[in-house]
Structure 1
Amino acid sequence: MKSTKTPNSMDEYIENFPKDVQTILQKIRNTIQKEAPDATETISYGIPTFVQNGSLVHFAAYAKHIGFYALPSGNIAFQKEISKYKFGKGSIQFPLNEPIPYVLIKKIVKFRIAENLEKTKKKVQKKKTTHTPKKISKKS
C-alpha cells in the first residue's frame, strides 16, 4: 500500500495498491456490485465496505492475501467452501498467488443480502407488535 492515510473512497483505497492487486480488488468490487446493486459503497474500519440493510461485506488487500469479511455468519454458512483457505471467526484469506474464488464471493454476498433482509423484516415486525395502539374501552 502506498499511503498510510485512511482512504475516503473505495477508488482511493484501490489506487493505493500495485496494478496487479488493483485489478483483483476491482474485480472483487465488481462481483459484489453485480450481486448487490442496491448496496452502498463506503469505507469502514479503513477498508472497502458494502452496506445494504446493515453491513454486508468488507474486503482488504495485504502483502500476500486478500482479506474478505462476511461477518461470522458468512463463514459459518460456507464452512466447507472456505475450508481450503486460512480463516477466522469473521475473515477469510484468499492468497494472492492463487486464483481468487469470485464464484464463492458471489454466493457469500447473496447469502448476506438475504440474511440482512431477514433481520430487517424481523425488526420491522417487532416494532409493529410493540407499537400497536391499545384500544380504549368505554365505561357505561
Structure 2
Amino acid sequence: MERGYDAHTVNEYFAAIPEEQRALLQPIRETILDAIPDSEEHIGYGVPIFDYRRHGLVGLSVAQDYCSLHLMSPPLARALKDQLTEGDLVGATLHFTADDPISEETVRLIVARRIAEVDARP
C-alpha cells in the first residue's frame, strides 16, 4: 500500500519521501518530463501524475518496500507483460526497488506507448 504524503505539489511530494526513494525516483521523473512533449505534473490520487494533452499519462509513488511507476492503462500493461524484464508488473503498476531498478529505456518505452494511446483517441 502506498504511503500518504501531505503534498500539494510534486516538489513537496519528493521532499517528503525518504532519501533513498527520492534518489531512485528523481532520475525517472526527469526522464518522464523529458520524454513527454509539453509535459505537466501535478498531484492526483495523492501521488505525482504526469500529463500529456490534459490526460494523466503515468504516475510515480512510493511504498514502504518499493517504488512504483503507474502505467495508468491496463491494456498497455497487458501488452507489455511479456516484454518488460525489469521490475514486477502488478496490474497496471510496475514495482521496483533500488536493488532492482528500472532503466531509462523502460521508462521511455512506457511513456512512448502511453503517448501513442492518447494520440490514437478520437
TM-score (norm 2): 0.84
Which residue of structure 2 aligns with residue 75 of structure 1?
Answer: 77
TM-score w.r.t. length of structure 1: 0.75
Could you tell me which runs of 5 or more consecutive residues in structure 2 were left unpaired when the two chains were aligned.
Answer: none
Provide the aligned C-alpha RMSD in A. Answer: 1.9
Contact 1:39 1:51 in 2 (8 A): yes
Matches within 5 A, 1:35-46: 35-46=35-46
The equivalent of 1:33 in structure 2 is: 33
| Count of aligned residue pairs for this structure pair | 118
Q: Give me the identity figure in percent.
A: 25
What residue identity is the alignment partner of 2:57?
L
Give the ranges of 4+ consecutive aligned residues of structure 1 lying more than 4 Å apart after TM superposition.
Answer: none
Structure 1 unmatched ranges of 5 or more: 123-140
Which has more helix, going by share of residues? 1
Amino acid at match of 1:44: G
In our comparison, the structure showing a higher alpha carbon Rg is 1
Offset at 1:101? 2.3
CA deviations over 1:46-70 (Å, ceiling 9, x no partner): 0000111311001101222111111
Cα offset for 1:76? 1.9
Alignment deviations for residues 86-122 of structure 1 (CA, whole Å, 9 cap, x no partner): 3222111112322322211110001101110111xx1
2:67: which partner in 1?
A: 66
Report if aligned partners of 2:87, 2:101 keep a CA contact under 8 Å in 1.
no
Structure with bigger RCO (C-alpha 8 Å, 6+ apart): 2
- Structure-2 separation of matches of 1:37 and 1:30: 13
